């Protein structure tokens, strides 16, 4: 960064409020990777505006710039904690930036406090599941990324639960604070919390301790959550996991099938913008699951999976293109479609991971070449 140009821009903005000077200084500050990678442009601009107060009051521009750079480069990371009172957990496990632990363990650690200075609620002293996210980014970027990591964490739990026998059990929705609801629904004289009424209610809570002890589940969750360098397979799993959470915890059928469609496309879609999505995704599902010793057996099973994927993805398309009308399906029909679609997405994620690692996929082009070989064979 040209310090002279930055000092002049800060001084000019402090004196005249010139928008061009603000834009120039913001651009110069964002050349620093320690700022650019952690802080959004809008937050940098806000910090610049705060710094001009000192300069306008007679402060030295160069000193104010140094303070501004230090403030931005050392901005504290973002912490997000979600507590699920209905799910008990006894052990603590950390995967990348995410920790799964009892709420009492998470909140017993030093450094967590409410901005208001108020005491922590009673539920923080319980053995309820807490998911803590430590996001390196700050400000608005940190909040967005932390929420995305939380969704990925819960989505990874749902994915592992579905693949390892825990079925339809879930935690969310996220975000929703059903301890202090602001939305109520029901007969006028008997209103209830909307989230509690509309959320999917399994018979038994999710066995978090059991999942966290399964090596296969932990390996899959690491692919979904590890913040380190990602190969092609794990990057697609990381992008898919938040959409699994959104879909599983959606209160409405339309929201669920839209999100499941996105999850499937994120996993199996092409980086090209010119391919017909339904055809491509259903074909890739067919190739992932086809089996049999003879060509006829492989063709038959592939056709069955292709048709299933087309039918379920078609539910997403119907909603997306405005052709779904609320009430055209009964609640039982909606639940059946959601469950089948969830199962397809989760099983596809597992097969994509298994075959992708075996075949050594490193890019979308590797997936395409694998697909072409199967078509020719």
pLDDT category at 201 given cuts 50, 70, 90 is: low
Domain final residue, candidates 47, 73, 99: 73
Q: Do 57 and 122 belong together in one domain?
A: no
Q: Do 111 and 68 belong together in one domain?
A: no
- What is the model's pLDDT at position 1? 56
For residue 375, give the nearest of 308, 306, 277, 276 by alpha carbon.
306
Residue 316 lies in a domain: yes
Q: Residues 73, 35: contact at Cβ < 8 Å?
A: yes
- What is the model's pLDDT at position 157? 94
Q: Do 253 and 354 belong together in one domain?
A: yes
Domain final residue, candidates 27, 57, 73: 73
Q: Residues 210, 240: contact at Cβ < 8 Å?
A: no
Q: Do 207 and 90 belong together in one domain?
A: yes
Cβ density class 174-187: b for 16+ within 10 Å, e for less: bebeeeeeeeeeee
Residue 241 lies in a domain: no
- What is the model's pLDDT at position 377? 64
| HSE-CB for 313 with a 13 A CA cutoff | 26
Per the DSSP assignment, residues forming a β-bridge with 101 are 130
- What is the model's pLDDT at position 217? 94
- What is the model's pLDDT at position 235? 95
For residue 175, give the nearest of 156, 151, 158 by alpha carbon.
151
Residue range 16-28: mean pLDDT, rounded:
92
Domain final residue, candidates 161, 193, 215: 215
The strand ranges marked E within 11-139 are 78-88, 93-95, 98-102, 128-135
- What is the model's pLDDT at position 116? 81
DSSP string, 62-81: HHHHHHHHHHHHTPPPEEEE
**Higher pLDDT among residues 88 and 282, named by residue:** 282
Positive/negative CA dihedral, 201, 207, 212, 215: negative
Q: Do 367 and 254 belong together in one domain?
A: yes
Q: Do 286 and 191 belong together in one domain?
A: no
pTM for the complete prediction?
0.91
3-state SS string for 201-217 = CCCCCCCHHHHHCCHHH
Residue 204 has pLDDT above 80, yes or no: no
- What is the model's pLDDT at position 353? 97
Residue 186 lies in a domain: yes
Number of domains in the chain: 3
* 3-state secondary structure (DSSP) of residue 37: coil
Q: Do 101 and 172 belong together in one domain?
A: yes
Rg (CA), the chain: 25
Residue 128 lies in a domain: yes
Q: Residues 232, 353: contact at Cβ < 8 Å?
A: no
DSSP letter assigned to residue 123: G
* 3-state secondary structure (DSSP) of residue 158: helix
Residue 235 lies in a domain: no
Residue 137 has pLDDT above 90, yes or no: yes
pLDDT category at 202 given cuts 50, 70, 90 is: low
Q: Do 359 and 264 belong together in one domain?
A: yes
Q: What is the pLDDT of residues 77-109, one digit of tens each?
A: 999 999 988 788 998 999 999 999 999 999 988
- Give the residue numbers spanning the domain of 288: 249-376
Q: Do 319 and 372 belong together in one domain?
A: yes
How, if at all, do strands 78-88 and 128-135 pair? antiparallel
Residue 222 lies in a domain: no
Q: Do 111 and 196 belong together in one domain?
A: yes
Residue 237 lies in a domain: no
Q: How far is CA 249 from the centre of its chain?
A: 13
Residue 220 lies in a domain: no
Cis check for the bond before 111: say yes or no (omega within 30 of 0): no
Q: Do 67 and 19 belong together in one domain?
A: yes
pLDDT category at 3 given cuts 50, 70, 90 is: confident
Q: Do 180 and 264 belong together in one domain?
A: no
């Amino acid at each position: 960064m040209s310090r002279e140009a930055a000092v002049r821009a800060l001084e000019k903005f402090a004196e005249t409020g010139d928008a061009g000077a603000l834009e120039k200084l913001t651009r110069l500050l964002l050349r620093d990777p320690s700022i650019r990678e952690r802080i959004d442009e809008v937050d940098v601009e806000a910090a610049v505006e705060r710094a001009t107060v000192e300069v306008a009051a007679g402060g030295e521009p160069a000193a104010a710039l140094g303070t501004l750079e230090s403030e931005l480069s050392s901005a504290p990371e973002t912490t997000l904690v979600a507590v699920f009172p209905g799910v008990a957990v006894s052990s603590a496990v950390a995967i990348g930036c995410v920790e799964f632990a009892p709420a009492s363990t998470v909140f017993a650690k030093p450094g967590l406090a409410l901005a208001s200075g108020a005491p922590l609620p009673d539920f923080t002293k319980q053995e309820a599941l807490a998911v803590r996210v430590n996001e390196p980014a700050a400000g608005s970027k940190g909040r967005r990324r932390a929420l995305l990591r939380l969704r990925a964490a819960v989505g990874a739990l749902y994915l592992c639960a579905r693949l390892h026998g825990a079925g339809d059990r879930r935690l969310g929705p996220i975000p929703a604070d059903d301890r202090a609801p602001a939305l109520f629904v029901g007969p006028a004289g008997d209103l209830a919390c909307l989230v509690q009424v509309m959320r999917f209610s399994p018979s038994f809570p999710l066995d978090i301790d059991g999942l966290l002890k399964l090596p296969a589940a932990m390996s899959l969750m690491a692919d979904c959550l590890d913040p380190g360098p990602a190969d092609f397979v794990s990057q697609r799993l990381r992008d898919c996991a938040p959409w699994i959470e959104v879909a599983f915890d959606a209160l409405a059928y339309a929201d669920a099938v839209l999100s499941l469609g996105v999850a499937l496309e994120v996993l199996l879609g092409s980086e090209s913008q010119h391919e017909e999505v339904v055809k491509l995704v259903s074909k890739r599902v067919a190739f992932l699951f086809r089996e049999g010793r003879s060509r006829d057996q492989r063709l038959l099973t592939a056709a069955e999976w292709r048709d299933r994927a087309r039918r379920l993805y078609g539910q997403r398309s119907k909603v997306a293109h405005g052709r779904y009308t609320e009430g055209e399906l009964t609640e039982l029909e909606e639940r059946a479609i959601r469950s089948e679609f969830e199962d397809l997405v989760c099983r596809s994620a597992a097969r994509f991971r298994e075959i992708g690692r075996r075949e050594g996929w490193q890019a979308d082009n590797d997936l395409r070449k694998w697909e072409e070989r199967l078509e020719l064979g």
